[in-house]
Amino acid sequence: MSDMWAAQLVAPATFADVRVPAPTASALAPGEVLLRVRAGAICGSDMPLFKGAIQRSGGLGNHPDGAPPGPGCPMHEVVGDVLASRHPGFEAGTTAVGWALGQDAIAELVITEGDSLVPDDGSLPPADAVVAQPLACVIYAVERMGDVAGQRVAVLGQGPIGMLFSHVLKSMGRAAHVVGVDRVDRSAEARVFGVDEFVRASCDRWVESLAADDRPQVVVESIGHQVGTLACAVDAVAAGGLVYYFGVPDDLVYPVPMHTFFRKDLTLRAGTTKDRQRVLRLAQRYLREHPSILDAYVTHRLPMARVQDAYELAAAPRAGQLKVVLES
């Protein structure tokens, strides 16, 4: 095709359909793959761009500070058919799942790096297979936490990422007790995802209610996009504990209650997902071993043409809603 459909943000929280030149095999650099998009899932990290925020340096995409997102943005969780490849692990005619590194997957075609994809075995429909991408991020983070077996763990935020953290910490990490904290009533979903104790509250109110013996050894911040929750995590965690900041930071500087951090002798970890092909394969295996989570996790499947409706849904968390997926 000489051109293709894509969605483009033309104002905060407002998409328009556009026709843009279609990428071709001749545009591929070594290691890149051209995909026909089959499905894409909306991530919480897509929300600031959707709402009109400036993307800071070091983000997933390649947009300079202050520049508006281009066609296809913002979406990076993708499943697609390989049309052409300059990566040794992929051939035309196969299907792949992983990252669209330019955050530009709300389109018919997208180019991305093969090292951020793995072949999809076809055992799941694309709208379910795409869950391997966020799950891979969670598995990588849980690996970096070290041994959490037998520990009390709290997950701040019980949206799509927070629920995956709860399940992986309980199942793979063998945490003794998982507490989930969210403003939205997630009690029904919590039972499916292994949450031992769900608390419907803001993070700061939950912290205020904690007794000394209830403080978790590990606190995962899975909300992001605000500065206050990091301080809540530091206040909540037990002495000698770990705070894992997973939520994507929007601000360049975050305040830390340093006196508390110092006196508690805490550890803070954060970072993006590396070794992507390995953890994507682990995520695919995890989904095969725990198929029941998919029905509860992917709550909304919409056609790609309803991109506006899909992002408005994702921007308004509510009970009974987790992952929103767009299908071609």
Per-position DSSP letters for 198-229, written without gaps between them: EEES-HHHHHHH--GGG--SEEEE---SSSHH
Q: What is the DSSP string of 106-155?
A: SBSEEEEEGGGEEE--SSS-HHHHTTHHHHHHHHHHHHHT---TT-EEEE
111 close to 152: Cβ distance less than 8 angstroms: no
> How many whole angstroms separate alpha carbon 47 and alpha carbon 110?
20
Taking phi first (over 0 means left), then psi (-120 to 50 degrees means alpha), and beta for anything else, what does residue 110 get? beta
Rounded to the nearest 5°, which phi and psi values hold at 23?
A: -65, 150
Sign of the C-alpha dihedral computed for residues 49, 45, 277 and 294 taken in this order: negative
Q: Of 246, 248, 245, nearest to 268 (Cα)?
A: 245
CA angle at 101 for the pair 125 and 5, rounded to the nearest 5°:
65
Please tell me the distance from the alpha carbon of residue 302 to that of residue 328, in angstroms, as a whole number: 9
Residue 43 is classified by DSSP as: -
The residue to which tokens 């077996």 are assigned: 149
What does the alpha-carbon distance between residue 146 and residue 161 come to, in Å, rounded to a whole number?
19
Residue 255 CA to its chain's centroid (Å):
24
| Cα–Cα nearest to 29, from 127, 111, 145 | 111
Amino acid letter, 89: G
Non-local (6+) Cβ contacts of 151 within 8 A are: 175, 176, 177, 216, 217, 218
Tokens 């793979």: give the residue.
172
pLDDT tens over the chain, length 328 residues: 699 999 999 999 999 999 999 999 999 999 999 999 999 999 999 999 999 987 654 444 444 444 568 999 999 999 999 999 999 999 999 999 999 999 999 999 999 999 999 999 899 999 999 999 999 999 999 999 999 999 999 999 999 999 999 999 999 999 999 999 999 999 999 999 999 999 999 999 999 999 989 999 999 999 999 899 999 999 999 999 999 999 888 888 999 999 999 999 999 999 999 999 999 999 999 999 999 999 999 999 999 999 999 999 999 999 999 999 999 9
274-292 burial string, b = 16+ CB within 10 Å, else e?
eebbebbebbbebbeebee
